[in-house]
């Protein structure tokens, strides 16, 4: 499971209890576990918080191009079951074997670079082409990838790998838990973000009674929640000293697409 970033903190039921007491138990008839996980996902999706970025590692199998993300593990041995989106340049392929990068005698993508980053393929026509024709072309170092549409969390790389490449996969995580989960540990969220989650849960409980016409308590909880999110936004990384250029027209850590010439229009990217 994906745990929080620290030790201790509230359990799931403790947070639900606090929110219930603060809202005069207005939401006793709700499925409160479902409300909890919905609120948790909403808090996580407020920003690309640094603590949402996780990294899994795996080794490709020569001749195998499809990899189920939930079968990949992170550094804590937890499955990548909470992938929302692959980070920009988050998929890295390293040289297979004992030869160090930069020492290859023949022209190679490994000369003077520690890794290569396959490009994400967003064009559905190119995706269709890869799925239909990939096996007709020789194996090589994968240069592009995508998540197979309609197949749960399965990544395909192209071309088919010709060697057992070590890989790392950085991604943005969102807890993927269901209301019937018996786990009391709050997944992913750092302990110091728990007040914001409790406040968001209060908003969910207050919203249950909005049809009675009094929105005062809901609006007050919303204002307090926004203040907590604003304060948390000041912590842009795990340590002081991180400076990031602001861009008003793009995410700093988004991915860019590759259309690709396809197999008949220039070969692999």
Interstrand relation of 73-74 and 53-59 (parallel, antiparallel or unpaired): antiparallel
% of the chain with per-residue pLDDT over 90: 53
Confidence of residue 243 (pLDDT cuts 50, 70, 90): low
Q: Are 47 and 237 in contact (CB under 8 A)?
A: no
pLDDT digits (tens, 9 = 90+) for 163-181: 999 999 999 999 987 656 6
Choice among 9-13, 40-44, 163-167 with the minimum mean pLDDT: 9-13
Greater confidence (75 vs 249) lies with 75
Residue 197: predicted pLDDT: 96
Report the C-alpha gap between 60 and 116 in whole angstroms.
14
Greater confidence (162 vs 245) lies with 162
Average the pLDDT over 124-148 and give the result.
96
Report the C-alpha gap between 139 and 158 in whole angstroms.
9
Is pLDDT at 101 greater than 70 in this prediction? no
Q: Which residues contact 17 (CB under 8 A, 6 or more apart)?
A: none
Greater confidence (135 vs 234) lies with 135
Instruction: Name the residue ranges covered by the structural domains of the chain.
Output: 12-45+179-232, 52-173
Residue 253: predicted pLDDT: 52
- Listed residue (150, 152, 106, 148) closest to 131, CA to CA: 148
Choice among 22-31, 57-66, 158-167 with the minimum mean pLDDT: 22-31
Residue 250: predicted pLDDT: 41
pTM as predicted: 0.78
Residue 149: predicted pLDDT: 87
Report the C-alpha gap between 58 and 80 in whole angstroms.
11
Q: Are 35 and 12 in contact (CB under 8 A)?
A: no
Q: Are 175 and 41 in contact (CB under 8 A)?
A: yes
pLDDT digits (tens, 9 = 90+) for 195-230: 999 999 999 998 877 665 668 888 999 999 999 999
Is pLDDT at 60 greater than 60 in this prediction? yes
Residue 19: predicted pLDDT: 92
Residue 96: predicted pLDDT: 78
Cα torsion 225, 230, 236, 240: sign? negative
Residue 211: predicted pLDDT: 60
Give the other-Cβ count within 10 Å of 242's Cβ.
Answer: 10
Backbone phi and psi for residue 15, each to the nearest 5 degrees, phi listed first = -70, -40
Residue 29: predicted pLDDT: 82
Is pLDDT at 259 greater than 70 in this prediction? no
Q: Are 130 and 158 in contact (CB under 8 A)?
A: yes
Angle between helices 194-207 and 32-44 (to 10 degrees): 130
Residue 212: predicted pLDDT: 59
Residue 174: predicted pLDDT: 94
Q: Which residues contact 206 (CB under 8 A, 6 or more apart)?
A: 23, 26, 217, 218, 221
């Amino acid at each position: 499971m994906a745990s929080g970033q620290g030790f201790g903190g509230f359990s799931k039921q403790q947070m639900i209890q606090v929110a219930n007491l603060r809202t005069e138990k207005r939401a006793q008839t709700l499925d409160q576990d479902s409300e909890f996980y919905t609120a948790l996902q909403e808090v996580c999706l407020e920003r690309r918080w640094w603590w949402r970025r996780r990294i899994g590692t795996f080794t490709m199998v020569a001749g195998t191009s499809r990899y189920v993300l939930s079968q990949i593990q992170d550094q804590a041995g937890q499955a990548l079951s909470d992938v929302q989106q692959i980070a920009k340049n988050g998929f890295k392929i390293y040289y297979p074997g004992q030869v160090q990068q930069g020492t290859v005698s023949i022209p190679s993508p490994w000369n003077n670079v520690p890794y290569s980053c396959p490009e994400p393929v967003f064009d559905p026509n190119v995706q269709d082409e890869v799925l239909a024709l990939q096996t007709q072309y020789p194996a090589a170092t994968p240069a592009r990838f995508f998540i197979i549409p309609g197949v749960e969390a399965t990544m395909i790389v192209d071309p088919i790998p010709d060697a057992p490449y070590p890989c790392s996969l950085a991604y943005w995580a969102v807890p993927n838990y269901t209301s019937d989960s018996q786990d009391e540990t709050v997944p992913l969220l750092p302990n110091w973000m728990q007040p914001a989650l409790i406040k968001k849960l209060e908003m969910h409980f207050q919203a249950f009674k909005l049809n009675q016409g009094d929105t005062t308590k809901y609006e007050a909880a919303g204002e307090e929640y926004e203040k907590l999110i604003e304060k948390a936004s000041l912590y842009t990384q795990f340590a002081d000293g991180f400076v990031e250029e602001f861009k008003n027209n793009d995410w700093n850590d988004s991915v860019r697409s590759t259309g690709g010439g396809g197999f008949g229009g220039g070969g692999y990217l």
